[in-house]
Amino acid sequence: MSTAADADTAAGGSGGGRRSRTKGDRGALDARERRRSSRTAYLLLLPGVAWLVIFFVVPVVQLFTVSLQSDFPGYPGYYYRDVNVGNYLSALAEFWPHMLRSLLFGALATFFAFILAYPLAYALAFKAGRWRPVMLICVIAPFFTSFVLRTIAWRQILADDGILASTLRTLHLLPGDRITETWVAVVAGLTYNFLPFMVLPIYASLERADPRVIEAGSDLYGNGLTTFARVTLPMSLPGVLAGTLLTFIPAAGDYVNAELLGSDRSTKMVGNVIESQFFRVPGGYDTAAALSFTLMAIILALVFLYVRRFGTEELV
């Protein structure tokens, strides 16, 4: 009796041991698979990280060191390594109007782009029907043309002897007797060039919106304007946030529109100053680098405050 019981116990123990070993082997296999998957993910990330390090991090660090270097007295264009914070103070003291003008023009262009983009994105999402692909192509088509060529085309549209200026002059609606070389032309060019960056994110948010929620809002609030303010607009805020960032950041740092549509005095932006200090002014590298980093810091601070105010939930 005891011998049989001991045999059964031994058999059961060996079976339990085999089961435990099988579970242990399976766990070890799963751990190896997870490690292999993580290595594969890191390898896939490696080209992108290398690209960012080589073509973004290293140049930014180099630019930062240039912004702190000092001039050799009497030798324009020659520098020595230093920690000269005075470059930032002198650059801001001389070019602060251009910095403020850049932020103002960027904000105006973002505002006007939103005013124009939202109705267009709304029509694309809810009203376009079978014309939606054609309308989307019309929004994206300007990207197939050079940025500079599009801006030159606007210079022809806004020319003093053009149809628009002549019509406004006839109606006595053109103060100053011209459009080009004014802030209006620069902001108009910025708005046009960066309009697709506002349209597409808003369209993406509205296109994902559930029409049944909007219909329910119509049933609850009745008034179409109230439904839009309480239902449609909040549902599209992620796209509005993304479009605002994508429009304001490049518009504030742009120099092509101010160069081609503006004047050398009243519409010059900080991007024009940076370009001239880098390529035209002997010994202006440190000033240009300091202005670049100052603009970057201001934009990052404004973006941080904007995101803190409106949040990043569902941001795409």
CATH classification of the domain holding 229: 1.10.3720.10
Averaged pLDDT score across all residues of the chain: 83
Residue 83 lies in a domain: no
Helix (H, G, I), strand (E, B) or coil at 262: coil
Nearest to 117 by CA among 289, 274, 242: 242
Within this chain, do residues 117 and 57 fall inside the same structural domain, yes or no? no
Residue 73 lies in a domain: no
Q: What is the pLDDT of residues 8-63, one digit of tens each?
A: 544 455 555 555 556 555 666 666 777 777 778 788 888 999 999 999 999 999 88
Within this chain, do residues 190 and 50 fall inside the same structural domain, yes or no? no
* Mean pLDDT in residue range 178-206: 92
Question: How many angstroms separate the Cα of 60 from the Cα of each of 104, 245, 251, 293, 299?
Answer: 25, 21, 20, 9, 16
Number of separate domains in the chain: 2
Within this chain, do residues 102 and 250 fall inside the same structural domain, yes or no? yes
Q: For position 21, what pLDDT does the model report?
A: 54
Residue 106 lies in a domain: yes
**222 has a pLDDT exceeding 70:** no
Residue 81 lies in a domain: no
Residue 77 lies in a domain: no
Helix (H, G, I), strand (E, B) or coil at 80: strand
Q: For position 110, what pLDDT does the model report?
A: 96
Within this chain, do residues 40 and 131 fall inside the same structural domain, yes or no? no
Residue percentage of the chain with pLDDT more than 90: 40
Most confident of 31-35, 62-66, 212-216, 249-253: 249-253
Element (H, E) at 75: strand 75-80
Within this chain, do residues 156 and 232 fall inside the same structural domain, yes or no? yes
Question: How many angstroms separate the Cα of 210 from the Cα of each of 126, 207, 219, 224, 231?
Answer: 11, 8, 15, 17, 11
Question: How many angstroms separate the Cα of 83 from the Cα of each of 30, 128, 146, 176, 216?
Answer: 53, 58, 40, 47, 62
Within this chain, do residues 22 and 133 fall inside the same structural domain, yes or no? no
Within this chain, do residues 154 and 17 fall inside the same structural domain, yes or no? no
Per the model's pLDDT, the better-predicted residue between 91 and 313 turns out to be: 91
Torsion of CA 159, 164, 168, 170, to 10 degrees: 90
* Mean pLDDT in residue range 74-85: 74
Within this chain, do residues 47 and 135 fall inside the same structural domain, yes or no? no
**232 has a pLDDT exceeding 70:** yes
Residue 183 lies in a domain: yes
Q: Are 164 and 170 in contact (CB under 8 A)?
A: no
Question: How many angstroms separate the Cα of 148 from the Cα of each of 92, 93, 167?
Answer: 29, 31, 26
Query: Cβ of 62: how many Cβ atoms within 10 Å?
Result: 11
- Joined together, the tokens standing for residue 69 give 């270097």
CA dist 114 and 98 (Å) reads 24
Can you give the pTM of this predicted structure?
0.80
Q: Would you tell me the crossing angle of helices 183-208 and 86-122 to the nearest 10 degrees? A: 50
Q: Is the dihedral of CA 7, 8, 10, 14 positive or negative?
A: positive
Tokens 């994902």 correspond to what residue? Answer: 208
Residue 193 lies in a domain: yes
**The amino acid at 98:** H
Residue 78 lies in a domain: no
* Mean pLDDT in residue range 144-164: 89
- Domain final position from 67, 100, 119: 67
Element (H, E) at 71: strand 70-72
Q: For position 7, what pLDDT does the model report?
A: 47
Within this chain, do residues 172 and 254 fall inside the same structural domain, yes or no? yes
Q: Which residue range(s) make up the domain with 151?
A: 88-310
Within this chain, do residues 157 and 92 fall inside the same structural domain, yes or no? yes
Q: Are 259 and 180 in contact (CB under 8 A)?
A: no
Within this chain, do residues 121 and 261 fall inside the same structural domain, yes or no? yes
Q: Are 298 and 103 in contact (CB under 8 A)?
A: yes
**167 has a pLDDT exceeding 50:** yes
Residue percentage of the chain with pLDDT more than 70: 85
Within this chain, do residues 15 and 94 fall inside the same structural domain, yes or no? no
